[in-house]
A and B are shown apart, each in its own frame.
Chain A
Amino acid sequence: MLNRPGAEALFRALCLVALTIPLAMLLVLLFHTFSEAYPRISWEFIIGYPSRKPALAGLLPALAGSFYLMILTGLMALPIGLAAALYLEEYAAPSALTRIIEVNINNLAGVPSIIYGLLGLELFVRAMSLERSLVAGAATLALLVLPMVIITSREALRSVPFSYREAALALGAEKWRTLLRVVLPMSLPGILTGLILAMARAIGETAPLITIGALTYIAFLPDSLQSPFTALPLQIFNWVSRPQAEFQVNAAAGIVVLVVLLMALNGLAIWLRARLQRRVYW
């Protein structure tokens, strides 16, 4: 064997540089945004309504819209995604058709979100005439995250050891009761983590909401499923596209709020996973 002095250190250094580049860029971006946003971040900004005067404009309708969207998306995506995962993982016989469905779900997870926006526009806004409403937006986002929910739920179901299913079956349980009472409680941490990450993805999405025609300037809070709505990324997009420099500051402040929200959601997923897993004693 030929031993090249320094080759080890050189390779290691190359890998470290590769790691540093994206981290440094992210830090620069965050620092830039935070320092620009800092003077604008205040309670008034968060609970304020949009305004033509940048200094008075606030975020509340967008924040509320994002919140409702997130909840509705989760409520729609969880039952459908979980039931689909249960079918694929527990009931579907391995066949060519099952494999085609599996491959396509994995592919759907990678389809650009604007395509889902076009689907939502045609299906929910026009065909089902839901207009540019909260429920149409949530349904579109639910479609978008559904593959993700199905995939993470399947992984969670698969992680439950066979011996516990066997124990339930040997007690005379039908399969559906085994799934509901033994397998689901054990896979819940994984399923919920997947759901929260999917909801985090949903509230960061802009393209599908623009495609279905969600408004970017809304001066009131959504009060029903049929209400028109706006969302954080839309509000940010709206402010960025304004010519006045003060609105750019608003946009930066909006980005900070969105980033904090996303980090909080990811933190919640981690916390929930750890906490629920402590209830599952292996």
Chain B
Amino acid sequence: MSIMEHIEPRTAVAESNRIETLNLHAWFGSFEVLKGISMAIPSNGVTAVIGPSGCGKSTFIRCLNRMHEVVPNARATGQVFLDGSDLYDPSVNPAQLRRRVGMVFQKPNPFPTMSIRENVLAGLRLNGARSHAGESEAVVERSLRQAALWDEVKDIQERPGTSLSGGQQQRLCIARCLAMEPEVVLMDEPTSALDPIATSRIEELLHELKRRYTIVLVTHNMQQAARVADRTAFFYIGELIEYGITKEVFTTPAKKQTEDYITGRFG
């Protein structure tokens, strides 16, 4: 079975695929959350994953950086290729992989014992990297600028990360992730804990970041997917129902379930 079969022909993904999953299954204990997902995600741009609660969308992206398996009793089978090599190959060190595939979580989680600056550098420190002062300074400024937070915090870098507002904290977490210079950024409902203004700032930021990074965004907010995503995948009870160019998925869905979901008949 080819992975491309699961992508609607009309999407005509021209760019090279950065991530490809092949028959990906995932379990919590004996409960199967993902039932064989085969999906290709091209380089750059935002790929949104939408679907009702419990459809497996978060689990799906957590399989892309092998974070699914850190939960007790959770396991996954199948293959996930990043630039052609299988992440689930026994020779892969999940910690090293996670430096290439960053993740932003639902609830902002800057480290409470660290300052803003230390939070940005946390990834490097947690990997045992030693850098001299000038280097770290450059990393902090670059990452905070990319996360559109620099102007707000440049003079208060020594304050605790948790002293910021919720939206700023989430952008700090994005900066912390970008400081590792990942290739892929996974975002698990990054705005669901934020107010509308903070949400729109993050959405603006996504428009900037997608030029440079391959972003996979899980969202329960269909308007958000419509606003920021180039491609949208609709998941339902552990299966990939439909996947294509966002505009097409939302205006002319091929499947009845997709149509029911986006028109608000369930979910």
Contact = CB atoms under 8 A, between A and B. Distances in A.
B130 to A, nearest CB: 13
Contact of B67 (A164, A166, A279): A166
Interface stretch (B25-33, B100-108, B253-261): B100-108
A281 B112 CA distance: 5
A164 B27 CA distance: 23
Given A163-B107, A172-B95, A172-B99, A177 B67 contact: no
Contact of A173 (B105, B127, B163): B127
Nearest to A160: B112
A169 B67 contact: yes
Given A166-B70, A282-B162, A171 B127 contact: yes
B95 to A, nearest CB: 5
A172 B109 contact: no
A238 interface: no
A186 B112 contact: yes
Contacts, number: 77
Given A172-B96, A172-B99, A164 B126 contact: no
A221 B95 CA distance: 53
Contact of A280 (B65, B99, B113, B122): B113
Contacts of B107: 163
Band of interface residues on A: 20 to 34
A177 B103 contact: no
B161 to A, nearest CB: 8
Interface string A176-191: 0110011001100000
A186 B109 CA distance: 13
Q: Is the interface of A mostly helix, strand, loop or mixed?
A: helix
B123 interface: yes
A177 to B, nearest CB: 5
Contacts of A181: 122, 125-126
Given A166-B105, A171-B180, A281 B162 contact: yes
A119 interface: no
B96 A171 contact: no
B173 interface: yes
A170 interface: yes
B98 A170 contact: yes
Contacts of B70: 166, 169
Nearest to A161: B109
Interface of B: 65, 67, 70, 95-99, 102-103, 105, 107, 109, 111-113, 122-123, 125-128, 160-163, 173, 176-177, 180
The 7 closest A-B pairs by CB, nearest first: A172-B99, A173-B126, A281-B162, A171-B123, A170-B103, A172-B98, A185-B113
Interface of A: 163-164, 166-174, 177-178, 181-182, 185-186, 279-282
